[in-house]
């Protein structure tokens, strides 16, 4: 297939595909799907081998968010029956993080609901970061606290944060249909603040909200232009009690095509399968490892994920290996550029070194999405509310029960 040969060649050179080529990936047939996966897999292996990076979410503050993001179970006016609690103490967050690290997680993602942190919140999270790093040698910490004010990214960096997550979620053209309490430009500004402060910028998307193929292409190309190091790809889980409760628009095949397209557009960045993989990829999850080089281990923010041991078994059975703490995730040209930004945060060094625009990752109040799963569910029909497909998190952070890791 000439298209796939062209995309592989461009991916190995870190060259940006045309929009027409990216759209063509999303338009491929089911008969061509394995060819698409194999082609994108060549690009993934070129830059990341057969390593899978494990990330672990700790929800520091759950629910009661003043923002109106339609996809989120923590949104203003949400009737989803999720856990609601205020800030975890540093020792509580450290205990939760340690469970993920013990399960093989290399990065801990600290998330708090809300529009953005106050300076007091930044101090609180800074103490939590210090406690986690003191108790878990070599662990990476990513913060996801919403929109940042001037100077807050630098304070998080000084406290020991390695990365900041803030997702663009959808295209600029359709963003106003999803959220009205802040703008697409607000999100871009926060990713840029994180990058300028020398933090590894993480920013991604949510697929399945009723967007068009063109919307998906727009947001992924925008992520590449932001030049971040990781792109989490979330698949919407329509929570009962939210405005998108009836949006069931994804199949496993569609989800794989989206991941392949992201890999071709962002060949040398950490592409992470984030919220919703268990619901929408289901038994096709192992194929997705040929496209993405990173996943979340265990549960998400407000919903339950696949059992942690099942994640580890899946990785091993598919012929991949968990990335160790001593291994640098990113290719040398990206990791060196990120280090240069950290050494001179005002300089704004391009992370891809490719001459073409690169990628990014993050979410306003939900790094990795608010999604969950049920074991191998049947595909839901569009227009239905399927509460049976979403297992609301009742364990781990904010509860007395052991976490899933």
Look up 386 and say whether it is catalytic.
no
Burial class (CB in 10 A: 0-12, 13-18, 19+), 346: exposed
DSSP annotation of 30 reads: G
Choosing from 202, 363, 367, 370, the catalytic residue is: 202
| List of residues 6+ apart from 323 with CB closer than 8 A | 51, 52, 53, 54, 106, 329
Highest mean pLDDT of the ranges 75-79, 133-137, 311-315: 311-315
Look up 142 and say whether it is catalytic.
yes
* pLDDT score for 381: 59
* Ligand-binding site membership of 69 (annotated): yes
CATH level 2 (architecture), domain 2-389: Alpha-Beta Barrel (3.20)
* Ligand-binding site membership of 363 (annotated): no
Backbone angles phi, psi at 166, to 5 degrees: -155, 110
Provide DSSP, 177-228: HH-SSS-HHHHHHHHHHHHHTTPEEE--EEE-SS--HHHHHHHHHHHHHHTB
Instruction: Encode pLDDT of 272-292 as tens digits.
Output: 999 999 989 999 999 999 999
* Ligand-binding site membership of 142 (annotated): yes
* Ligand-binding site membership of 350 (annotated): no
* Ligand-binding site membership of 272 (annotated): yes
Q: Which of 53-67, 208-222, 316-330 has the lowest mean pLDDT?
A: 53-67
Work out the pLDDT band at 328, boundaries 50, 70, 90: very high
* pLDDT score for 32: 98
C-alpha closest to that of 397 among 165, 161, 86: 86
CA geometry: angle 217, 273, 222, nearest 5 deg:
25
Work out the pLDDT band at 367, boundaries 50, 70, 90: very low
* pLDDT score for 304: 82
Average pLDDT over residues 86-94: 94
Average pLDDT, the chain: 88
* pLDDT score for 357: 32
Q: Which of 68-72, 113-117, 330-334 has the lowest mean pLDDT?
A: 68-72
Work out the pLDDT band at 243, boundaries 50, 70, 90: confident
Look up 109 and say whether it is catalytic.
yes
User: Is the distance from CB of 241 to CB of 256 less than 8 angstroms?
Assistant: no
Choosing from 65, 144, 363, 370, the catalytic residue is: 65
User: Is the distance from CB of 58 to CB of 50 less than 8 angstroms?
Assistant: no
Look up 350 and say whether it is catalytic.
no
């Amino acid at each position: 297939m000439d298209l796939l040969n062209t995309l592989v060649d461009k991916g190995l050179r870190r060259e940006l595909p045309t929009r027409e080529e990216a759209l063509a990936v999303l338009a491929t047939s089911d008969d061509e799907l394995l060819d698409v996966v194999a082609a994108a897999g060549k690009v993934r292996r070129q830059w990341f081998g057969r390593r899978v990076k494990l990330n672990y979410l700790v929800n520091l503050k759950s629910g009661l968010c003043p923002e109106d993001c339609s996809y989120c179970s923590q949104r203003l006016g949400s009737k989803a029956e999720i856990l609601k609690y205020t800030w975890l103490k540093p020792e509580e967050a450290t205990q939760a993080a340690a469970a993920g690290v013990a399960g093989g997680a290399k990065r801990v993602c600290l998330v708090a609901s809300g529009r953005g942190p106050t300076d007091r919140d930044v101090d609180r999270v800074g103490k939590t970061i210090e406690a986690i790093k003191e108790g878990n040698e070599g662990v990476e910490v990513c913060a996801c606290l919403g929109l940042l004010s001037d100077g807050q990214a630098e304070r998080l960096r000084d406290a020991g944060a390695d990365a900041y997550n803030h997702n663009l979620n959808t295209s600029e053209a359709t963003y106003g249909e999803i959220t009205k309490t802040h703008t697409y430009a607000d999100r871009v500004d926060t990713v840029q603040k994180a990058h300028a402060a020398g933090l590894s910028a993480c920013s991604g998307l949510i697929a399945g909200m009723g967007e068009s193929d063109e919307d998906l292409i727009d947001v992924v190309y925008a992520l590449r232009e932001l030049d971040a190091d990781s792109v989490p790809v979330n698949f919407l889980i329509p929570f009962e009690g939210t405005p998108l409760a009836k949006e069931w628009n994804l199949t496993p095949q569609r989800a794989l095509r989206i991941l392949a397209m992201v890999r071709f557009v962002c060949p040398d960045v950490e592409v992470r399968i984030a919220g919703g993989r268990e619901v929408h990829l289901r038994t096709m999850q192992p194929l997705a490892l040929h496209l993405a080089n990173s996943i979340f281990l265990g549960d998400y923010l407000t919903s339950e994920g696949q059992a942690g041991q099942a994640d580890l078994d899946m990785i091993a059975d598919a012929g991949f290996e968990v990335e160790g703490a001593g291994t640098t995730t990113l290719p040398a040209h990206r990791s060196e550029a990120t280090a240069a930004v950290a050494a001179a945060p005002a300089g704004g060094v391009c992370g891809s070194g490719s001459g073409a625009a690169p990628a990014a990752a993050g979410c306003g109040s939900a790094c990795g999405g608010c999604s969950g799963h049920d074991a191998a569910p049947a595909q839901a029909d569009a227009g239905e509310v399927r509460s049976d497909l979403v297992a609301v998190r009742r364990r781990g952070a904010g509860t007395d029960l052991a976490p899933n890791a």
